[in-house]
Amino acid sequence: MTAFIEQGRRLWANRRERTLLRRTITLISSSIAATLLATSTFAQTDTAWKSVEDAAKKEGTVSLYHNLRPSGIEKLLSEFRKAYPGIKTEHMRLGSAPLIERFSTEFTAGRNLADVVITFPDETMLKGVDTGGWALQWTPPELAAFKPEINRGNKIFAVHTSRNVIIWNKQRVKPADAPKEWADLWDPKWKGKVAMDPPWRSIAVQGLIAHWSNIGLSDSAQKLKANDVRFFEGSAGVFQAVLRGDALVGTLADLPLEPGLVDGAPIGFVYPKSGTAINDGFVMVPAKAPHLNAGKLFANWIMSASGQTVLQEIGGLPATRPGITPPKFVPATSSLSNVVDSLVISSTAQQAKSINTWREVFGIR
Amino acid sequence: MNRLTQNNTSAQHRFNLLTPLYALVFTAVALMALVPVLALVLGSLRDSPPGQPGSWTLENWANLASPGVIDTLLTTIQVACLTTFFSMILGTMLALIIHRTDFRWPNAMTGLLGLSFYFPSFILGMAWIVIGSPGGLINDLVRELFDAEANLDIYSVGGIVLVMVLHQVPFVYLTMRGPVLGMDPSYEEAARTAGASAFTMLRRVTLPMLSYALASSTLLCLVMSLEQFGIPVLLGIPGRVTVLATQIYLLCRFPPTAYGLAAAIGLTLAAITALAILLQRRLARGGQAVATTGKAGRITPIRLGAWRWPANIFCGGYILMGLIFPTIILLYTSLIKFFTGNPLTAAYTFRNYISIWESEGTQLATLNTLLVSGGGALVGVMLGAACSYFTVRLKPTGHRILDMLVMLPFGVPGVVLGLGLLWAYAYLPLPLYGTMTLIVLAYVTRFLPYATETAGARFVQLDRSLEEAAWTAGASRQTGVWRIVLPLSLPSLQSGYFLLFMAFFREISATILIFTASTSVLSVSIWSYFEQADWGMASALSILAMILMMGIMSTLLWAMPGARQR
Amino acid sequence: MGISVRDLVKVYGQSTVIKGISFDVADGEFVTLLGPSGCGKTTTLRCIAGLDTIDGGEIRINEQIVSNTATEVFVPPHERNLGMVFQSYAVWPHLTVAQNVAFPLTVRGVRDTSETVKWALDIVGMHELASRRPSELSGGQQQRVALARAIAGKPQVLLFDEPLSNLDARLRDRTRAEISRIQHELKVPAIYVTHDQTEALSMSDRVIVMSAGLTIQDGTPKQIYHAPVNRFVADFIGNANFLPVQRRGSKWVLPDGTALSVCPETKHLRGDKMTALVRPEVIQVEPGPAEQIHPDINRITGTVISSVFLGQHIEHVVSVAGLELRLFSRMPLESGSGITLSFHASDCRLLSE
């Protein structure tokens, strides 16, 4: 708020910018008004939904910010376009942390470009959603088919789940040597050959580390440093590293696992019995989305049965909607033991603390 | 009488159309050059991300002294110095071998080196990861053939230096080629007739004669190394080798972000590179008269004799490592489902290419790239020519300031410029964020000095009396420019356009922080695929981008014969 | 009408290159600015052309003020209706000969230029090469194109900036004659800048000798040559022998006391010590001792020091009255032989310094 007032004061001094400022204010106020109107009714009826569809078609385009696999996103978008011809799709793919960062920057600057966001949230995003006015509060028609846990304040909805998993290169690691538990990661026999995503870059890993503390595996940072762990970019990076043989074992959020196994990659995996941290990927329609109705349409579609099937297929993660056929290779979340939700087990303060510990141990910054 | 050195004071009266043009150009360049820099300065004094409530602080600058940053600074200097050292040696050797000896294939080598020059840096980095990473081809081969561990790791300072050297050698070659070709042969002939062997002559006559050119080229190479973004980020992050450019990127991309510190680091890096550029321009001006005469072409080539095969291997080796291997590797990775070291057992597929072909996102990115490169280069050349005309010919009041403003972005690394633009345009009440205009603005700002140098060199060469003859024949100043100066400068304008087009096409560091969904360009798409470790798509798109680039290169060279001169 | 320059001053940075000069060029007159490099002659020309602004004084062309610092009038070059020929020809390589010549017309919006272009090219004899490009022409041909271009716009003033210095000797002679002829035909005032005295003497109606930003002498070629106003002019034009003389009573004597009959015009000059000018070509030489023939003819004995065969004549250096003189003769003379020099008093002028 203060930033806006400051900016406004600065602008007012410059006569040239006044007209522009006037226009901007009109735009913002009208979109706020529109948003308020839209959220005044919490439940949308079917006829109300038809009007959303029509409005979306009039808007003609939807911009998706996401952290899904880049090679799958085109298929997802083309399926949406098949379902709703006449709506163009644009997308921007970034890792979950940079994505949230980018959204936050744009939101604060008043440059709203995203119509719908799919990502794994971190504390910044949760704060933004809960109290910062990031998300539109609404009820998608498809919500009725889901379990109530996936709904967070009618603002963001979990659409798929990623779980932290251990993988190894089947060609180079004998079955007897394969890791079974988290502690195997700092077994000296894998020194220099362990891969992971660093916690300051991945919310999933932050959850994992919190889980490790909870089950008594403390000092993970120091142990992994002693084992010369190598960091790679994102879960895909870890996957590729293990596949190539840059590392022989690794831990990652299991996004690339299913698609890789479908391709026939020689990767072994295990979800340790001591449990794993999971992360839900949520869909959010930004309150200030430039094409609000198109965004709502997309979000609703991704929660529909067809949308969820495609999402699972290209995203590689089990969808949250009940009744969808589970993925071929990786087990359903329900079949795993001791599953904990990252968002639940790691509070903001804890996350910050563990990140700092890791940063210190590895000498970052 | 040397008219070129006279100060034409008649320019101070009567501009007619040229006065408002000058005002426009001056304002445009001033804004383009100063806004990002000032935004960075401002940003470095804030303790919160751009636009968010915060307070003024000197903490960011204080943090420059923190061990993390100092470490990065030292690493940066280490990498830059090593890269410059090796690039200079290899590049100069190539220039001498190709143009001073009886090497058999000078034209082929020149052409191939030209191609290598255009090979985008981060694509080279990607290919070399496949070749040299711990699970890469070389290690695999050694393990299979010799049952030993080569333990080659491209994710290291050595690896980064290797790939950066491969990338920068063509640049050194191209800058040293002119001086080597233009040397007055009589000095060397005197040495030979006095009894010096070829090597002695090289050591005691040729190289000292080239010293100005060498020094100038070294500084430029150093600046390039300091600015490098793609290669250090790709190869450095897994191996935890961080240079300043990488650090800026990390600080802005991954939480907890520190935009203020990034701005401070960016300004520091820019200060270092700007200093180097200033030194280089001093040198270039001072050394122009030395050793180059118009009598080139009568050189007696040095006979290679027993050194022929080492020279051939050397030249061929560079081309293999810098151009051919990477391309083959990328082709290979683009055609397989997932990475396998052994081409015989890999699962082949065309799906990456099919996916790209059908992908709307890629089509948009390609369109954007062509727009930015084609249109942006045009804007850049026109602006550059105008600036050059004002600073070199007309010299109205304030032209020295204009000159400095144009040169300012030269010393600012791409990623720093992008950061500055992010700070500036995300918050200025101009609807530029998220538009192609911003991308074009970023590119033109970054590369404007190239355009002014190319056009400017030509304006300086153009005899003053050609313009004066037009004036005394009844043409006003602007008619003179339109009918005489521009047509005669066309070859170098074309050359400038070509240069800018190619530079824009490959550019990534300036856009990486400011691109949005609709303004993505090819280089960013490739980068995104790579960041998500989608090797198949990244390499397929790289191959397609390079084919596109070569197609456009040939078209441009065919349509604009003037661009063939470098 | 014509060109009028009053109190022209031009400053470059710290130095004053033209220190206040005035002269006129009448309608149809051909005036040469002659002097060594750096004397300011080219700068003067450029000021008249409007290529440089002036820092003092006034320039008028055909009664119209084109440059005046007091009233801050400055007419830019393209409005002065000039024809200028440059030292480097400045023929535009991207236009054909015809297009080059037509330029002064096309730039003023004249549609049909073919007749004028034909006329101009005919005058310089370049008509057959009208469609060629300058890169296909020799230096002399390019210069003629430049000339045609200068006259095509029917200028009110012709300006030449050392146009012949890039041509070889034979071409220079031919082009010199052509320029003279054209200027006479067109009857346009012309200013010609050169450091070559042959061009100055042969082409001009008047010659203005300049040095260090000032005009030293303004006169016809004959006046400049025969009646130079000081040693500088005498030395710059033609060959000269300078004899230091002293007044003794009503007579002038050489350092060794030999009396000299000097030109009556200059007898009245003030001062006791002067320089006498005797040009080599006026000196007759004969072997043997001297005898006074006529009071108006100076006869002095001397010795031959050296001789150089120059083709059309032999140049001898002789020692006379303790001084060295040069003279020309068809007669070979032995080094060391005694000779007598004779020259008429009217060929011996007294000069101020």
Q: Model confidence over C59-101: pLDDT tens digits?
A: 999 988 998 888 888 998 999 999 999 988 889 988 999 999 9
Subunits with 3+ C-beta pairs closer than 8 A to A? B
H helix count then E strand count, chain B? 26, 0
pLDDT of B2 above 60: no
Q: Which residues of A touch B361 (CB under 8 A)?
A: 73-74, 77, 90-91
Break chain A into its structural domains and give their ranges: 42-160+280-315, 162-279+327-361
**By 3-state DSSP, what share of chain B in percent is helix, strand and coil, each rounded to 5?**
75, 0, 25
Query: Would you call A60 an interface residue with chain B, using a CB distance cutoff of 8 Å?
Result: no
Looking at the partner chain, which of B135, B518, B529 has a beta carbon nearest the beta carbon of A245? B135
Q: Which pLDDT belongs to residue B148?
A: 72
pTM (two decimals): 0.76
Query: Does the pLDDT value for residue B66 go beyond 70?
Result: yes
The span from the first CA to the last CA of chain A, in angstroms, equals: 31
Q: Which structure tokens are listed for B563?
A: 């661009």
pLDDT of residue C321: 83
Q: What is the pLDDT of residue A41?
A: 45
- The CA distance from B131 to B152, in Å, is 10
Interchain CB contact of B437 with A (< 8 Å): no
Q: B360 vs A105: CB contact, 8 Å cut-off? A: no
A339-341 and A276-284 strand pairing: parallel
- Residue B188's region, left for phi above 0, alpha for psi from -120 to 50, else beta, is alpha
Task: Name the strands in the sheet holding C259-260, side by side, starting at the edge strand that comes first in the sequence.
Answer: C259-260, C251-253, C241-248, C273-278, C348-351
The CATH class of C3-231 is alpha beta
The reply to whether domains A42-160+280-315 and A162-279+327-361 share a CATH topology is yes
In chain B, CATH 1.10.3720.10 sits at 14-37+350-566, 77-253+280-291+306-349
Least confident of B48-57, B149-158, C38-47: B48-57
Label residue C333 by pLDDT band (50, 70, 90): confident
pLDDT at B202 over 90: no
Mark yes or no for CB contact A17/B237 under 8 Å: no
Min Cα separation C103/chain B (Å): 7
Whether residue B287 is predicted with pLDDT greater than 60 in this model: the reply is no
Which of B8, B474, B487 lies nearest to residue C153, judging by beta carbons?
A: B474
CATH architecture classification, B77-253+280-291+306-349: Orthogonal Bundle (1.10)
Q: What is residue A40's predicted lDDT score, i.e. its pLDDT? A: 44
Q: What percent of chain B has pLDDT over 90?
A: 10
- What's the rounded mean pLDDT across residues A29-34? 49
Mean pLDDT (whole number) for A140-145: 88
The complex's ipTM? Answer: 0.81
Would you tell me which CATH number, out of the four given (2.60.40.1180, 3.30.420.40, 3.30.70.420, 3.40.190.10), belongs to the domain A42-160+280-315? Answer: 3.40.190.10
C chain contacts of residue B466, beta-carbon cutoff 8 Å: 90, 92
CA distance A208 to chain B (A): 17
Annotate C182-212 with DSSP letters as a single string: HHHHHT--EEEEES-HHHHHHH-SEEEEEET
Tell me, rounded to whole angstroms, the distance of Cα B415 from its chain centroid: 13
Q: Where in chain C is the domain with CATH 2.40.50.100?
A: 240-351
Strands C259-260 and C214-219: unpaired
What distance in Å separates residue B417's CA from the closest CA in chain A?
A: 18
Architecture of domain C240-351: Beta Barrel (2.40)
Q: Which range scores top for mean pLDDT: A26-35, B140-149, C161-170, C301-310?
A: C301-310
pLDDT at B82: 94
The larger pLDDT score, comparing residue A362 to residue C155, is at C155
Nearest to A205 by CA among A145, A282, A122: A122
Q: Please check the confidence at residue A16 and state whether its pLDDT lies above 70.
A: no
Using the beta-carbon criterion (under 8 Å), do A71 and B355 form an inter-chain contact? yes
- Which residues of chain A are within 8 Å of residue B56 when distances are taken between CB atoms? none
Cβ–Cβ of A264/B337 closer than 8 Å? yes
Counting CB pairs under 8 A, whether chains C and A reach 3 or more, is: no
Angle, helix B244-253 to helix B259-286, in steps of 10 degrees = 150
| B170 prior amide bond cis, ω within 30 | no
Q: Do B469 and C84 touch (CB under 8 A)?
A: yes
Q: How far apart are CA C300 and CA C243, in angstroms?
A: 13
Q: How high does pLDDT run on average in chain B?
A: 81
- Is the predicted pLDDT of residue C277 greater than 50, yes or no? yes
B14-37+350-566 is classed CATH 1.10.3720.10 = yes
Distance of CA A7 to the CA centre of its chain: 32
Interface mutation vs chain A, best among B338, B350, B352, most A CBs within 10 Å: B338
Higher pLDDT, residue B467 or A216: B467
From B1, B473, B483, residue closest to C42, measured CB to CB: B1
Question: CB B434 to CB A111 under 8 A?
Answer: yes
Q: Is B16 on the interface with C (CB under 8 A)?
A: no
- B9 vs C: CB within 8 A: yes
For testing contact with chain B, the best of A111, A193, A197 (most B CBs within 10 A): A111
Nearest to B93 by CA among B284, B313, B291, B299: B313
The Cα–Cα gap between A349 and A215 comes to 19
Which one of C82, C93, C108 has the shortest CB-CB distance to B472? C82
Interface with chain B: mutation pick from A71, A79, A205, A267, highest number of B CBs within 10 Å: A71
Q: Taking CA C266 as the corner, what is the angle to CA C262 and CA C271, rounded to the nearest 5 degrees?
A: 100
Residue in the structure block whose two tokens are 């100076």? C298
A128 in B contact zone (CB under 8 Å): no
Is pLDDT at A143 greater than 60 in this prediction?
yes
Evaluate whether the domain defined by A162-279+327-361 bears CATH number 3.40.50.2300. no
> Any CB–CB contact under 8 A between A239 and chain B?
yes
Q: Do B135 and A246 touch (CB under 8 A)?
A: yes
Separation in Å, CA of A98 to nearest CA in chain B: 5
- Min Cα–Cα distance to chain B from A64, Å: 8
With an 8 Å Cβ cutoff, is B484 touching chain C?
Answer: yes
Among all residues of chain C, which has the CA nearest to that of B471? C78
Instruction: Count how many pairs of residues, chain A against chain B, have C-beta atoms within 8 Å.
Output: 172
Distance from CA of B92 to the nearest CA of A (A): 35
Interchain contact, C51 vs B472, CB within 8 Å:
yes
In which residue ranges of chain C is CATH 3.40.50.300 found?
Answer: 3-231
Contact A291/B at CB under 8 A: no
